[in-house]
Amino acid sequence: MKKINTIALVAPSGKLKNLDEINKKISILEKRFKIKKYYDENASYFYLSDSDENRARYFERAFLDDEVDLVLSVRGGYGAIRMVDKINYDLIKKTSKYYLASSDGTILLASLFKNTKIKTFHGLMVSNGFVENLDKNIEIIENDIFNIDLKPIKKGKLKGILWGGNLSSLVSLFSDEQFIPNDDIVLFLEDLAEPLYKIDKMLYEIYRNKKLKAKIKGIIFGDFYLASDEIMPILEQYSDLFNVPCYISDNITHKINNITIPFGKYIDL
């Protein structure tokens, strides 16, 4: 695995807010890495960081920069679904970059995995924790590490590729089955501030998706920002419905204790 010396920052989703705070974090990164910005921090388009076309072109250019080792999203929000079909994956698949994102970036992780097979990671971004856990994040990316505490709901072997991320973002991809992987998967899921009935609805959408359900050989439920006595009965019910090994981890979350996960890594635990 190659070392990270140059990082390209991209903003493929929501409008950049709290720029002073973001730029402070970028300054910390600049003490250790060469940083290149592939976005216009003064641009905006409705609640997005830029137009769909501009975000897609910036995204491509970050990967085409020969100097760049890691492409890192500044923040999530919303917007990746609007540009995902505008990306030229044939250009990106010829590169050997790392990419890290989460939240809305889950859409890009799934899309890049299916269309390019470059090495991607689900983890906190510049705006919400990458810098605060910098040494650990770099170690995980450079060495392709998966090491996370798991608590069992339904015990069994977790065997497949790690695939998943933000629940609501994944469900938004279901209009097109091209994003569903060919391999058996260990599905990992989290979400932020969705009410219980929406979590239930989205989990059932996964259960009803026959093509995806057939690939699921294990599930890791992350943090849904709900009290344990509220969320656990639902997770236990879906563990029975899917009838695969199911575990819980508090370290798949939007919070600072999130652990970066190698998206697409094969595990046999």
Domain boundaries, the chain: 6-143, 151-268
34-51: average pLDDT: 96
Compute the mean pLDDT over every residue in the chain, rounded to the nearest whole number: 96
| Confidence (pLDDT) at 81 | 96
Work out the number of other CB atoms within 10 angstroms of the CB of residue 18.
11
Distance from C-alpha of 10 to C-alpha of 26, rounded to nearest angstrom: 12
Query: By the 8 A CB rule, do 65 and 154 touch?
Result: no
Q: Are 6-143 and 151-268 equal in CATH topology?
A: no
240-250: average pLDDT: 98
74-78: average pLDDT: 96
21-25: average pLDDT: 97
In the predicted model, is pLDDT for residue 220 greater than 80? Answer: yes
Distance from C-alpha of 238 to C-alpha of 9, rounded to nearest angstrom: 37
Distance from C-alpha of 156 to C-alpha of 45, rounded to nearest angstrom: 47
Ramachandran assignment for 132, one of left (phi > 0), alpha (psi -120 to 50 degrees), beta (any other): alpha
> The whole model's pTM is what?
0.96
| 241's tokens | 């419905």
Query: By the 8 A CB rule, do 59 and 83 touch?
Result: yes
* Amino acid occupying residue 116: T
| Confidence (pLDDT) at 172 | 93
| Confidence (pLDDT) at 176 | 80
In the predicted model, is pLDDT for residue 1 greater than 80? Answer: no
State the first-to-last Cα distance of the chain, in angstroms, to the nearest integer: 22
Alpha-carbon torsion angle 106, 218, 263, 74, nearest 10:
30
Helices then strands, each counted (H, E), the chain: 10, 12
32-48: average pLDDT: 96
37: number of CA atoms within 13 Å, CB side?
Answer: 13
Query: By the 8 A CB rule, do 68 and 62 touch?
Result: yes
| Confidence (pLDDT) at 178 | 84
Domain at 151-268, CATH from 3.50.30.60, 3.30.70.100, 3.90.550.10, 1.10.760.10: 3.50.30.60
| 184's tokens | 């058996």
pLDDT per position as a tens digit, 104-159: 999 999 999 999 989 999 999 999 999 999 999 999 999 999 999 999 999 999 99
Q: Which of 6-15, 23-32, 61-70, 174-183 has the lowest mean pLDDT?
A: 174-183
- % of the chain residues with pLDDT over 70: 100
In the predicted model, is pLDDT for residue 266 greater than 80? Answer: yes
Residue 177's pLDDT band, with cuts at 50, 70 and 90, is confident
pLDDT per position as a tens digit, 223-238: 999 999 999 999 999 9
Fold designation for 6-143: Rossmann fold (3.40.50)
